[in-house]
Amino acid sequence: MPIREIDTGSRRELTFEYHEAGERQGDIRLRKVKRASRQVWEVAGVFIRASARRRGLGTKLYERAARAACESGAPLASTERVGEGMSDAFWEKQLRKGRASVLCKRCGTGGQPVYVLSCPAPSSLRGARKKR
């Protein structure tokens, strides 16, 4: 999947987009902040076009964002999880698989916990496939 970084003009913001057939199918936006006395790249927003969902695009965008975050010296964090089912499920999966940990229990938006991925970034953030 061709994911490219978009120049935001800021050293404290990162955006990655996926285009297919000349149209944006999804993106992930990050911003560098301090949470619980630690610099992190928080997920400021994720967009996946409805027709592009359930194809692994969101996971690929998170993987690219996690690599870029770790390369810049701060891990990817979940601080803008606004209670969306897909985002919650993604971070719960990363916790179960030991790829993420709780950074703080109530410092996220609306007093939610903040999760952080490990660095170096995991090579894959996908879930396990069922054996046939």
CATH assignment of the domain containing 59 = 3.40.630.30
pLDDT digits (tens, 9 = 90+) for 28-50: 999 999 988 889 999 988 888 88
Q: Measured over all CA atoms, what is the biggest interatomic distance in the chain, rounded to whole angstroms?
A: 47
pLDDT average, residue stretch 44-65: 88
Q: How many domains does the chain have?
A: 1
Which position has the token pair 């919650």? Answer: 88
pLDDT band at 83 (very low <50, low <70, confident <90, very high): low
Within a domain: 89: yes
pLDDT average, residue stretch 43-65: 88
- Say how far apart CA 43 and CA 35 lie, in whole Å: 13
Within a domain: 127: no
Closest Cα to residue 115, out of 101, 99, 105?
Answer: 101
**Residue 48 to residues 9, 26, 62, 99, 127, Cα–Cα distance (Å):** 23, 4, 12, 23, 18
- Checking if the pLDDT of 130 tops 90, the result is no
Within a domain: 99: yes
Domain that holds residue 36: 3-117
Average pLDDT, the chain: 85
Which run of H or of E encompasses 117? strand 114-117
Within a domain: 54: yes
Within a domain: 48: yes
Within a domain: 124: no
Within a domain: 129: no
pLDDT average, residue stretch 105-132: 79
- The structure's pTM equals 0.85
Residue 29, strand partner residues: 15, 45
Within a domain: 26: yes
